[in-house]
Chains A and B, each alone.
Chain A
Amino acid sequence: MKENDKRKLTPFLAHEMLFDYVTDQLDHERRKAVEEFIKEDRESQNLLEAIQRGISYAESLKRIEISAEALDELDHSENLVSLSRRLARWSQWPDSLRWSLVALMISMCTAGTVMIIPWNTIPLFKSTPGFESGSFEIARVQGRKAGGDDGQIVADQQEDGLDAQTGPLEGSGDEEFAEESSGARPTIQVPPPVVAVPPAATSTAATVSAATRVPTPAPVQTTVAHVPAPAPTSAQKASRGYVYRAFMTLSDLENIAPKITQQLKELGAEKAGEVELGWRRGSGRYYHFSLPEMSEQKLMETLRGYGPVRISKDPHPRVMPQGQLRFILWIESGV
């Protein structure tokens, strides 16, 4: 097309293209045509200036800022859907709630695991004898049968010897009472191996000496270790002694205590510590005694005749001779 044949822009088209001209959106040919039109058209020049002013003013409006309060209000705008979505998002939950739930979950998992695991089948826990302290439990004390427990016997005798050497604790002379008063268990001395044993020792001597448990065991040491017995089984090796601990609270203890002492003696009870039966300690009475196994039931009936008895069977390193049980009875004076 020749230069003279170009169609001239109409005012309408030129005005409509002014904004694109200002924002540089026209191609070269159109741009040149608009420039030529503007030179000759006064209205186009006015509009061009208006557009430039309008753009400049609009640009200045960018500097308007929203106040912090209004922005905060807008930032926290929620509707039901957005609120439910936010609450459903774990990361948006409050820290305290999240950590509480984590702690709860861990607690539940731990409790579930403890409940599911069959603890009784695990040897580590199975070997430990357990008892319910609140229950009335009557169990037979396994007396010493095997000669393999000689070391234990010697340990017991050494304990007795220590009792004699160290003297009475808490004024009672009874190691069990001292143990209960302090809350600590006595440490068992590991006995040295017994090498030389006189062959002439008799088994009856051992039975008598272990049953009485007098705290002067020195003469007994040489005779006990020679008790002939069948070879120990693994169960016997694992066996331990027991002590029955009984507690009572009685009113009018001053009158009842001598009666109990008398009845215990009638049942064959012999003191096992250094203090006499019914030893007075504060407002209570203390009985540490050994008892023939056959009198156990009668003892319980006798004690129940005076009031409720709480009794527990505790494991103890000291093993009583067969047919003998060891009791520690504490009677507290009260209503």
Chain B
Amino acid sequence: MNKAAELLIAAGSIGQMERYIEAGASAVLIGESRFGARLPGDIEAGEMREAIARAHAKGAKAYVSVNKLFRNAELPDLPGYLKLIADAGADAAVFGDPAVLLNAREAAPGLKLHWNAEMTGTNSAAAAFWGRKGAVRAVLARELNEAEIADIKRQTTLEVQVQAHGMTNIYYSQRNLLQSYMEHIGREAHIVDLGADRGRYLAEAERPEEKLPIFEDRNGTHVMSADDICLLEALPDLLAAGVDSFYIEPLLKPEAYNITVLSSYRSALDAWAANPEAYRFEERWLDDIRALQDPDRELSFGFLYKEQVY
């Protein structure tokens, strides 16, 4: 472990990006919904140069999300966008669709690439494959346990990123499910009213306590987990395993909450970096988060200690 692990968060505006960096983020994920999936807000192409410069000025890296699945009609915008973000100094583009790879080779050959295929990034052989295609980082699925994460890191030369905190996307459709349902029950619904900040959630009859946030945007319908993962207490194990980057998902959370989360993770990461042997978990890191935690949403270890069957 020669280098400090990264603390990464998505930001929806330049100002928010700066506040997150001040709170402890060492890297930010930015972009717009034309190219990236489930961003907390759009930083448009015209603002990209300034955004990246400001992140760099504060000592943080800036990654741009280009991780949507693209349609034919959207492809012509890719070369220009990739060139623009490369010229603006982006530290990497995050992709899931191989169309981005093909375009990056031509339009932005120097741009680093992070492979993020969401729930389908599950093993080291796939990571190695995308590595040979040019990716320098694999973003792992949230549905992996600790042993799997550690084994993937052992078996790959790529950087490994895991989500450490926040909700996770558990279902993504290109159908407009909210709009369709509102129509079906005879309510007027408009796409602008269906966005992420409207507090909509689904509850299943047998699990009424599990509230699954749902929202719709230009890319389709997104259902999110009922719990917020919080791997703060597991950081030493993940750091020992060599995880390179810890992602904080800020989606559907107040900025103040995300800032507190960043501060706690920053404290933990700094303490570990200073002296792994002397590292001791401090309960107040977690207490600070708990104080702002939505009481309807449990903090959990996600799949970190789970056995899944199939």
Q: Do A and B bind each other?
A: no
Residues on B facing A (Cβ under 8 Å): none
Residues on A facing B (Cβ under 8 Å): none
